[in-house]
Amino acid sequence: MIQKVKETWRDLIKKHKCLVLPGAYDALSARLIERAGFPAYVIGGYPLVGSRYAVPDIGLLALGEISNGMRDILSATSLPVLVDADTGYGDVKNVTFTVQTYENMGASAIFIEDQVSPKRCGHMAGKSVIPKEEMVKKLKAAAAARQTGDLFIIARTDARQVFGLDEALRRGEAYIKAGADGIFIEAPESVKELELIAKAFDVPQMCNMLTGGRTPIVSNKELAEMGYAMIVHGIILIMRVAKAIQETLSAIQKDRLPSSDNFVSFEEYKAIMEFDRWAELETKFSRDLRKDI
C-alpha cells in the first residue's frame, strides 16, 4: 500500500519556494534532520552506500541492497523525502520497478540520472552518459509507472562534464518533454553556469552543493535568488560525522577523551531515540496486563 504524506513535493516547493535538503545517510541522521526543523530531506546513494556498506558510489550495489537502506531511513521520520533512484538500475522495465518500489515505500520524489551503468558519483572523473533517446524512454516509463500523480520525478543529467553545458541544457529540454517534473544538471563548474542553468527551464530545478566537488559552494540564499527550487547538501553530514569519528578514535587511542561539550548528553541521546515514548508504552501495557491477571 502506498504511504500518504501530508504534503506533496509540489506543495512543498510552492510553500517554501526553495527547499534546502540535507542528506540523510541512516535513520539517526534522518531523525536529527526532522528534529532540526527541516521540512524535507534527501537520501543520496553516495552517503548511503558509504555508511551502510563502506564502499564508494561507483555502481557496486543494486536496487535490492540500496532500497533496504532507504527503507530503514524512511521509517525514521514522517517527513517527505527525495530519493536517489540512480540510473533506474537497468532498462525501462527496471525503471518501472524502481519507481513503483520507492513510491510504495513512501518516497515523495525521486531523481533518475542518464549515466552509463555502472555509474559513479556525479563529481568524479570518468563518467559516461547514455544516448539522450534512451534516457527519454526511461523517463516516459518512469512517468507511466507512477501509481498516483503525486510522485515528483526529477531528471538528472551528467552531460555537463562529458559533452559540455549546451548538451546538458538540450538534454534538460528533452527530459521535460518526456515527462520529468523537475531538472537536475549535475556538476556545473562556475557561478555563471549555475546562473545560466537556473534561468534555462520553467520547471523546478535542483542543484547540489558538495564540499570539494566541481561546483563552487554558494549560499542557500544566493541559489534561491538565482531561481533554484531545491538545494541539496547531500553528503555534508556523513563527511562531518566521519571526521568526528576519526578525531574521537584518535583521542581514545591517546587516552585523552574530548570534552563532554563535544557530545550530546546521555539524556539528549535518549530523547532523540524517543526513549520516553517506548518506556510509556512498556509501563502502560505492563500495568494493563497485571490488571487482567
| pLDDT tens, residue by residue, 158-209 | 999 999 999 999 999 999 999 999 999 999 999 999 999 999 999 999 999 9
Give the three-class secondary structure for 62: coil
- Identify whether residues 17 and 118 lie together within a single domain: yes
282 and 221 in a common domain: no
**Contact by Cβ (8 Å): 13, 229:** yes
Domain match, 96 and 132 both: yes
Give the whole-angstrom CA distance, residue 60 versus residue 71. Answer: 19
Give the chain's domain count.
2
Side chain identity at residue 208, one-letter code: N
238 shares its domain with 270: no
In a domain, 255, yes or no: no
Q: What is the mean pLDDT of residues 107-124?
A: 84
Q: Within a domain: residue 258? A: no
Alpha-carbon distances, residue 61 vs 48, 73, 162, 189, 234 (angstroms): 11, 17, 24, 28, 19
State whether 64 and 131 are in the same domain: yes
* 222 and 96 in a common domain: yes
pLDDT score at 289: 52
Overall size of the chain counted in residues: 293
Q: What is the pLDDT of residue 259?
A: 80
* Domain contains 4: no
Which pLDDT belongs to residue 242?
A: 96
Count other C-beta atoms under 10 Å from residue 237's C-beta. 21
Say whether both 231 and 283 belong to one domain.
no
Q: Are residues 73 and 190 in the same domain?
A: yes
Cell of 283: 509501563
CATH number, residue 121: 3.20.20.60
Does residue 252 form part of some domain?
A: no
pLDDT of residue 6: 63
Would you call 277 exposed, middle or buried from its count of C-beta atoms within 10 A (0-12, 13-18, 19+)?
Answer: exposed
Above 60 in pLDDT, residue 108? yes
In percent, the amount of the chain with pLDDT more than 70 equals: 93
Q: Could you tell me if 52 and 187 lie in one domain?
A: yes
Number of neighbours of residue 40 by Cβ within 10 angstroms: 24
In a domain, 121, yes or no: yes
Q: Which residues pair with 183 in a beta bridge?
A: 155, 205
Q: Is residue 51 part of a domain?
A: yes
61 and 192 both lie in a single domain: yes
Is the torsion defined by CA of 7, 9, 13, 16 positive or negative? positive
Report how far apart, in Å, the C-alpha atoms of 283 and of each of 10, 12, 272, 274, 288 are: 42, 38, 20, 15, 9
Is 280 contained in some domain? yes
Percent of the chain past pLDDT 90, that is, above it, reads: 82
Entry pTM: 0.92
Nearest to 165 by CA among 132, 131, 202, 192: 192
State the cell numbers at 169: 541544457
Residues 141 and 206 in one domain: yes
How far is residue 225's CA from residue 221's CA, in Å, rounded to a whole number?
A: 6
Per the structure, the complete domain to which residue 292 belongs is given by: 263-293
Please spell the DSSP secondary structure of 165-233, one letter per residue: HHHHHHHHHHHHHTT-SEEEE----SHHHHHHHHTT-SS-EEEE--TTSSSPP--HHHHHHHT-SEEEE
Is the pLDDT at 46 greater than 80, yes or no? yes
Say if 250 falls within a structural domain.
no
Distance of CA 200 to the CA centre of its chain: 23
Q: What is the pLDDT of residue 4?
A: 47
- Do 51 and 175 share a structural domain? yes
**DSSP per-residue codes, 104-142:** HHT-SEEEEE-BPSS---TTSSS--B--HHHHHHHHHHH
Q: What is the pLDDT of residues 197-222, one digit of tens each?
A: 999 999 999 999 998 889 999 999 99
> What residue type is 124 in one-letter code?
M
Average pLDDT, the chain: 92
Say what the pLDDT of residue 2 is. 44
Mean pLDDT value across residues 254-272: 88
